């Protein structure tokens, strides 16, 4: 059976979303009843006293209930619409500044290098990066609706106080949230809390208006204004009680995800002391966001607690620092504290530890630490063919989804080291990223044919062919070979996402012209155009809902997909037919077509759109069936991997390099 980790966590994240909506609807119902009770007590008269349940079904009660529900609903919808821009909107909400891809700041370059390594190793496009310049605390978060459009925000303190290994541990933690689908829940929680909070804000307004106005006009409508003030007080109390329980639910769910993300960071980096030391520094220096009014809204999204709040035992979105460090590696805290005593003056250490004890209780653990074993594997030249050994091929490809291995990290580090400096810097600019898309389609052609293809493009200062940039890119791509095509495209995604909608459409049109120039579509051209449409096309940031919960509903799409893989993985029609039937055996009803038919680009895209609506727990079998086709001969060449990478990307299943 496929790896239960990634796919079950995806399914669990979707179930958590539904559960949270149910819980918040329950909270809205209770708040509505509480407001109706206040309305009942204020409006009832001594001559006509109806029981509460009768009043509730009267016109007054129904009007009050409807007004409360609409108020909460409008508050949540307004914030939901405000956050429709995805992760970039959340980053701007907290005042974060985008880190330019070609930044020269050494601390920002360090972060970008770590993020690029992790992105290539895990098979996701490089996230956009932001920094909160005015925050000296240590914290970070990711936001967005899909892995391909995620953004990562770090505080200035995280850049300046953390070493490379510590920052890598934080990045690995945040990548876990990207891969496990936590970002969608986090953004939706902000919107859900906003509606409940609006009720308390209106109550606060009525309270001030009633009592302050009542004091100035005591002789006129004094009772009405006093009543308004009392209603405002009741609404404010009810509203903030609702927020209390909302944050209680939020914290309970968030704590589980934080522990999982810590464990995933260790798995990704294979360096438990990196994230452990980062957590220790947060315990010493703090992670509170003091320059934004949205600190409490962001608390569940951040690497550490971002807001000071009372009842922290109940409302904290993260487990205590000491528990997190101890869960990563028993006894690590003793080693970290011993190291601090060796480097800090005694007086400062006593001050810091007393402050830390008050915040997080880090004085409770004294254990033995095991030194981490960290290795990156030996370096080897990039190859134009990927050929894993037999033991690796025996492993189902779905077990690799959403993971980072030592081999994939070594591949990412080595690739980045081999990129020419000028070539890499061009990937960080809009013009260079656009020319990369063109270069990927023509770099293996003769110079004369390259000129013919580029002549098809309309002249444009940004979107047209730029020979001076292409002359720097084409030789580098030819030297790096086919293996580097998708990784360098992922490096260029932050720059491509900066294109305006019209520029994106024009780029996709130009790419399609180059693909159609020879009246045939190669596997890489198919993968490239589908990848760009998926991440730059209309609705790229939208979440794809689950629609199908069994394979019978998507059988035509499965047949098309596996027909293509069977034909791509064999040399003769007879072998393709045999491989197709073997791949379909796990899904079929015994009435499968006996031949692997041809599949057009349009049919493949339609099939992948349908299969992406499968339940997460049904997707591993699709990945494994495709993997069976590409590994049946004991090797995986670059074109087969790119086709495999295409399918995984379209199914929102990050596939690391093989």
Report the pLDDT averaged over residues 335-342: 76
**Is there a single domain that holds both residue 532 and residue 548?**
no
Q: In this structure, are 520 and 605 located in the same domain?
A: no
Residue 218, classified by CB atoms within 10 Å of its CB into exposed (0-12), middle (13-18) or buried (19+), is: exposed
Give CA–CA dist 603/561, Å, rounded: 9
| Domain stop point among 488, 506, 536 | 536
In a domain, 313, yes or no: no
User: Does pLDDT of 473 surpass 90?
Assistant: yes
The answer to whether residues 30 and 246 touch, using CB atoms and an 8 Å cutoff, is no
Q: Looking at the DSSP assignment, which residues form a beta bridge with residue 154?
A: 131, 140
465 and 457 in contact (C-beta within 8 Å)? yes
Answer yes or no: is 496 within a domain: yes
pLDDT band at 637 (very low <50, low <70, confident <90, very high): confident
- Regarding whether 517 and 448 lie in a shared domain, the answer is yes
Alpha carbon distance 441, 501 (integer Å) = 22
Share above pLDDT 70 across residues of the chain, in percent, rounded to a whole number: 80
Mean per-residue pLDDT, 629-647:
83
Query: Is pLDDT at 85 greater than 90 in this prediction?
Result: no
Does residue 559 sit within a domain? yes
- Average pLDDT value over all residues in the chain: 80
Asked if residue 217 is part of any domain, the answer here is: no
Tokens of 73: 């609903």
How many distinct structural domains can be found in the chain?
2
Whole-Å CA distances, 564 to 359, 523, 568, 573, 597 = 58, 10, 6, 12, 8
Q: Is the dihedral of CA 459, 465, 466, 467 positive or negative?
A: negative
Write the Ramachandran bin of 286: left for phi over 0, alpha for psi from -120 to 50, otherwise beta.
left
- Residue 364 located in a structural domain: no
Residue predicted with more confidence, 367 or 123 = 123
Where does residue 366 rank: exposed (0-12), middle (13-18), buried (19+ CB within 10 A)? exposed
Catalytic: which of 117, 149, 174, 490?
Answer: 174
Within this chain, do residues 517 and 437 fall inside the same structural domain, yes or no? yes
- Segment 155-169 shows an average pLDDT of 94
182-217 pLDDT tens trace:
787 788 788 877 887 777 777 777 777 666 555 444
Query: What pLDDT score does 387 carry?
Result: 39
Neighbouring C-alpha atoms within 13 Å toward the C-beta of 493: 32
Evaluate whether 565 touches 643 at the Cβ level (below 8 Å).
Answer: yes
Question: Domain boundary residue among 536, 554, 577?
Answer: 536
Catalytic residue at 606? no
Give the full edge-to-edge strand order of the sheet including 97-98: 97-98, 128-132, 151-155, 140-143
In this structure, of 301-315, 341-355, 357-371, the range with the lowest mean pLDDT score is 357-371
Look at strands 151-155 and 97-98 and give their pairing.
unpaired
Domain boundary (488, 508, 536) is at 536
Mean pLDDT value across residues 593-613:
81
Q: Which residues contact 612 (CB under 8 A, 6 or more apart)?
A: 544, 650, 651, 652
Let me know if residue 342 belongs to a domain. Answer: no
Q: Which two tokens stand for residue 476?
A: 């580098």
pLDDT at residue number 178 = 86
Q: How far is CA 303 from the centre of its chain?
A: 14
- Residue 348 binned pLDDT confidence (cut-offs 50, 70, 90): very low
Are 638 and 558 members of one domain?
Answer: yes
- Residues 173-182 pLDDT 10s: 999 888 877 7
pLDDT at 15: 66
CA distance 170 to 166: 6
In whole angstroms, give the CA distance from residue 440 to residue 445: 10
Classify burial at 338, counting beta carbons within 10 Å of its beta carbon; exposed 0-12, middle 13-18, buried 19 or more: exposed
Element (DSSP H or E) covering residue 173 = helix 164-179
Q: How much is the pLDDT for 52?
A: 83
Which tokens hold the place of 435?
């020319």
Convert the pLDDT of each residue in 515-542 to its tens digit: 999 888 888 888 899 889 888 887 766 6
Structure tokens at 218: 């005591």
pLDDT of residue 359: 38
> Is residue 490 located within the same domain as residue 578?
no
Instruction: Say whether both 523 and 598 belong to one domain.
Output: no
DSSP code for 98: E
Q: Which residues are 151's β-sheet partners?
A: 128, 143
Least confident of 128-142, 454-468, 555-569: 555-569
Which pLDDT score is estimated for 399?
A: 82
CA distance 34 to 301: 30
Nearest to 430 by CA among 484, 487, 493, 474: 493
Q: In this structure, what is the dihedral angle of CA atoms 405, 407, 413, 417, given to the nearest 10 degrees? A: -170
Lowest-confidence pick of 103-107, 175-179, 349-353, 427-431: 349-353
142-156, 236-250, 473-487: least confidently modelled range: 236-250
Give the separation between CA 488 and CA 125, rounded to whole angstroms. Answer: 10
Decide if pLDDT at 641 tops 70. Answer: yes
Retrieve residue 66's tokens. 């409807």
Burial of 236 (0-12, 13-18, 19+ CB in 10 A): buried
Are both 423 and 532 inside the same structural domain? yes
98 — pLDDT class (breaks 50, 70, 90)? very high
Q: Are residues 427 and 508 in the same domain?
A: yes
Same domain flag for 603 and 505:
no
| Cα gap 296→257, rounded to integer Å | 18
Q: What are the DSSP calls for 578-625, one per residue?
A: HHHHHHHTTT--S---SS-----HHHHHHHHHHHTTB-GGGHHHHHHH
Run of H or E residues at 152? strand 151-155
| Contacts of residue 99, Cβ cutoff 8 Å, sequence gap at least 6 | 108, 111, 112, 129, 130, 131
% residues pLDDT > 90 (the chain): 26
Q: Which strand (E) or helix (H) includes residue 41?
A: helix 4-43
Lowest mean per-residue pLDDT among 457-461, 472-476, 525-529, 651-655: 651-655
Residues 6+ apart with CB under 8 A from 356: 283, 284, 362, 363
Buried b vs exposed e over 508-542: b needs ≥16 C-beta within 10 Å? bebbeebbebeeeeebbbbbbbbbbbbbbeeebbe
Distance in angstroms (rounded) separating the CA atoms of residues 622 and 605: 15
Residues 437 and 515 in one domain: yes
> Is residue 10 situated within a structural domain?
no
pLDDT tens, position by position, 39-77: 788 777 644 577 888 888 888 888 888 988 888 888 888
pLDDT band of residue 311 (cuts 50, 70, 90) is low
Domain that holds residue 469: 419-536
As a three-state string, the secondary structure of 117-146 is: HHHHHHCCCCCEEEEECCCCCCCEEEECCC
Residues 6+ apart with CB under 8 A from 315: 244, 247, 248, 251, 309
- Cα 488 to Cα 501: distance, rounded to the nearest angstrom: 22
Provide the pLDDT confidence category of residue 312 given band limits of 50, 70 and 90.
low
Q: Are residues 558 and 627 in the same domain?
A: yes
Domain membership of residue 554 (yes or no) is: yes
How far apart CA 397 and CA 408 sit, in angstroms, is 14
Residue 386: pLDDT band with limits 50, 70, 90 = very low
């Amino acid at each position: 059976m496929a790896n239960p980790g990634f796919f079950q966590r995806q399914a669990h994240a979707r179930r958590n979303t539904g559960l949270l909506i149910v819980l918040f609807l329950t909270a809205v119902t209770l708040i509505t009843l509480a407001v109706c009770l206040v309305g009942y007590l204020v409006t009832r008269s001594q001559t006509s006293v109806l029981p509460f349940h009768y009043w509730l079904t009267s016109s007054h009660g129904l009007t009050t209930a409807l007004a409360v529900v609409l108020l909460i609903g409008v508050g949540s919808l307004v914030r939901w619409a405000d956050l429709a821009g995805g992760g970039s909107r959340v980053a701007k909400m907290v005042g974060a500044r985008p880190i330019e891809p070609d930044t020269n700041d050494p601390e920002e370059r360090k972060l970008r290098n770590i993020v690029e390594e992790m992105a290539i190793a895990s098979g996701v496009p490089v996230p956009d990066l932001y920094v909160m310049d005015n925050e000296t605390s240590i914290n970070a978060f990711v936001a967005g609706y899909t892995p391909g459009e995620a953004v990562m925000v770090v505080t200035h303190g995280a850049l300046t106080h953390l070493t490379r290994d510590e920052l890598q541990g934080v990045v690995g933690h945040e990548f876990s949230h990207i891969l496990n689908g936590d970002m969608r829940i986090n953004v939706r929680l902000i919107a859900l809390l906003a509606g409940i909070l609006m009720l308390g804000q209106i109550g606060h307004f009525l309270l001030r208006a009633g009592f302050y106005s009542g004091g100035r006009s005591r002789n006129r409508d004094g009772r009405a204004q006093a009543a308004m003030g009392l209603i405002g007080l009741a609404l404010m109390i009810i509203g903030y009680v609702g927020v209390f329980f909302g944050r209680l639910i939020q914290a309970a769910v968030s704590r589980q995800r934080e522990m999982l993300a810590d464990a995933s960071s260790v798995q990704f980096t294979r360096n438990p002391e990196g994230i452990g030391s980062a957590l220790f520094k947060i315990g010493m220096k703090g992670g509170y966001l003091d320059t934004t009014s949205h600190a409490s809204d962001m608390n569940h999204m951040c690497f550490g607690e971002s807001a000071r709040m009372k009842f922290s035992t109940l409302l904290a979105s993260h487990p205590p620092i000491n528990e997190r460090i101890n869960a990563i590696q028993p006894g690590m805290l003793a080693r970290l504290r011993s190291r601090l005593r060796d480097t800090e003056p005694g007086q400062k250490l006593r001050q810091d530890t007393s402050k830390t004890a008050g915040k997080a209780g880090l004085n409770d653990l004294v254990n033995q630490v095991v030194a981490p074993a960290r290795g990156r594997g030996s370096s080897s030249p990039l190859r134009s063919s990927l050929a894993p050994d037999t033991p690796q091929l025996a492993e189902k490809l779905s077990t690799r989804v959403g993971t980072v291995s030592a081999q994939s990290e070594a591949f990412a580090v080595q690739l980045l080291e081999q990129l020419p400096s000028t070539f890499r810097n061009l990937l960080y600019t809009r013009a260079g990223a656009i020319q990369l898309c063109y270069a990927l389609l023509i770099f293996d052609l003769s110079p004369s044919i390259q000129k013919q293809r580029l002549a098809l493009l309309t002249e444009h200062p940004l979107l047209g062919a730029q020979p001076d940039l292409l002359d720097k890119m084409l030789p580098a791509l030819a030297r790096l070979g086919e293996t580097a095509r998708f990784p360098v495209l992922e490096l260029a995604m932050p720059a491509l996402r900066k294109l305006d909608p019209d520029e994106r459409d024009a780029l996709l049109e130009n790419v399609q012209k180059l693909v159609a120039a020879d009246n045939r579509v190669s596997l890489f051209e198919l993968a490239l155009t589908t990848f760009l449409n998926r991440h730059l096309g209309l609705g790229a940031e939208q979440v794809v809902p689950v629609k199908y919960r069994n394979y019978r509903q998507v059988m035509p799409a499965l047949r098309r997909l596996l027909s293509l893989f069977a034909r791509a993985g064999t040399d003769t029609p007879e072998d393709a037919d045999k491989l197709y039937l073997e791949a379909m055996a796990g899904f079929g009803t015994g009435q499968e077509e006996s031949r692997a038919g041809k599949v057009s680009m349009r049919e493949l895209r339609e099939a992948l759109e349908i299969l992406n609506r499968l339940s997460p727990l049904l997707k591993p079998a699709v990945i494994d069936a495709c993997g069976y086709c590409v590994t049946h001969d004991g090797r995986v060449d670059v074109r087969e991997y790119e086709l495999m990478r295409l399918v995984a990307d379209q199914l929102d299943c990050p596939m690391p390099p093989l």
